[in-house]
C-alpha cells in the first residue's frame, strides 16, 4: 500500500504542466501547439469521434477557441484526471496527427480537413511535402526560432560564455536575474520578441508580436513581465528544472 501511495505522489510531483496553447490556422489545416514545462512522456488516445485524451499533462483551466469561416467550428481543451481532453467541434471529415517539437517541450496536434474540393485533393495526398505557403509561415518560424535558441542556449550553458548579440540577427533587449542560476531574457529576432527563462532550464515563456513596444528601461520591462501569466509561475518552472537537473545533464 505504501508503495502505491509513493507511486501516486511521484506521478503528481513530476507531471508535465501545460503553460501555453497557440493555434496556427492554414487553408485546410489547423495546428495546436502545446507548450510544456517538461519533456512530454504521455500518450494520445482517441476517446470519441473527434475527442482525444492526452495523458501526463496537467492543466487547471479550460481553453476554447472559436473559428470563423473554417472547417472547424471550435476547439475545447479541458483538464481531465489523468491529462487533458481535446474536443474538436466540426461537421467536416477530419484527420489528426501528433508530433513532438525538436526539444520535446512542445506537442503539435494537427487537424487536417478531408472534406475538400477536387482541386485541393492533390495537396492533401502528400502529407510530408514542403509547406512553403504563407499559411504555415508563422508556425515554421516559431519552430525555427525555438531550435536556434535551444542550440545557442545549450552552447552557452556548456561553455559559460556571454550571450551573443549579433549572430543570426538576434539581439538581447533586456534581462533580469531571478537567482544566481536563472534569469529572464527578452530576445528580438526578425522583428518578433521572445521571452525566455535561461539557467537550469531553457524555457520559452512568451512570444510578442511585431507591434509590441520595446521596453526602454527596467521599469517598463517589469511592466511587460506582469502582462505574461506564465511569468507568475516562473518559480514553479525553476523548481521543476532543479528536480530534472540530473536527467538533463545526461542528455
One-character DSSP codes across 120-159:
GHHHHT-TTS---SGGGHHHHHHHHHHHHHHHHHHHHHHH
Average pLDDT (147-172) is: 64
- pLDDT confidence of residue 191: 75
Average pLDDT (221-232) is: 74
Averaged confidence pLDDT in the chain: 75
Per-residue confidence band for 172, with pLDDT thresholds at 50, 70 and 90: confident
Per-residue confidence band for 207, with pLDDT thresholds at 50, 70 and 90: confident
d(CA 214, CA 236): 27
pLDDT digits (tens, 9 = 90+) for 173-193: 888 888 877 888 887 877 788
Average pLDDT (41-45) is: 88
d(CA 109, CA 90): 16
- pLDDT confidence of residue 244: 56
Per-residue confidence band for 160, with pLDDT thresholds at 50, 70 and 90: low
Per-residue confidence band for 167, with pLDDT thresholds at 50, 70 and 90: very low
- 206: cell is 512568451
More confident position, 98 or 163: 98
* Predicted structure pTM score: 0.44
Least confident piece of the model among 10-14, 157-161, 225-229:
10-14
More confident position, 19 or 205: 19
Domains annotated on the chain, with CATH: 14-116 (2.60.40.3470), 143-248 (no CATH)
Amino acid at each position: 500500500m505504501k508503495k502505491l501511495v509513493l507511486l501516486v505522489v511521484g506521478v503528481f510531483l513530476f507531471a508535465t504542466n501545460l503553460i501555453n496553447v497557440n493555434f496556427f490556422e492554414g487553408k485546410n489545416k489547423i495546428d495546436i501547439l502545446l507548450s510544456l514545462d517538461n519533456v512530454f512522456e504521455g500518450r494520445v488516445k482517441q476517446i470519441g469521434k473527434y475527442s482525444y485524451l492526452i495523458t501526463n499533462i496537467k492543466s487547471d483551466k479550460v481553453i476554447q477557441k472559436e473559428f470563423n469561416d473554417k472547417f472547424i467550428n471550435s476547439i475545447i481543451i479541458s483538464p481531465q484526471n489523468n491529462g487533458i481532453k481535446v474536443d474538436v467541434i466540426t461537421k467536416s471529415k477530419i484527420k489528426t496527427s501528433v508530433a513532438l517539437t525538436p526539444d520535446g517541450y512542445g506537442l503539435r496536434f494537427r487537424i487536417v480537413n478531408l472534406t475538400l474540393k477536387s482541386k485541393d485533393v492533390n495537396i492533401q495526398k502528400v502529407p510530408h511535402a514542403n509547406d512553403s505557403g504563407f499559411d504555415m509561415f508563422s508556425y515554421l518560424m516559431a519552430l525555427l526560432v525555438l531550435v536556434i535558441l535551444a542550440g545557442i542556449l545549450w552552447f552557452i550553458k556548456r561553455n559559460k560564455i556571454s550571450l551573443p548579440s549579433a549572430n543570426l540577427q538576434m539581439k538581447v533587449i533586456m534581462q533580469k536575474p531571478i537567482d544566481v542560476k536563472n534569469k529572464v531574457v527578452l530576445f528580438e529576432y526578425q522583428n518578433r520578441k521572445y521571452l525566455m527563462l535561461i539557467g537550469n532550464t531553457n524555457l520559452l515563456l512568451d512570444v510578442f508580436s511585431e507591434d509590441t513596444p520595446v521596453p526602454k528601461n527596467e521599469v517598463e520591462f517589469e511592466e511587460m513581465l506582469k502582462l505574461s501569466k506564465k511569468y507568475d509561475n516562473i518559480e514553479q518552472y525553476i523548481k521543476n528544472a532543479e528536480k530534472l537537473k540530473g536527467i538533463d545533464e545526461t542528455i
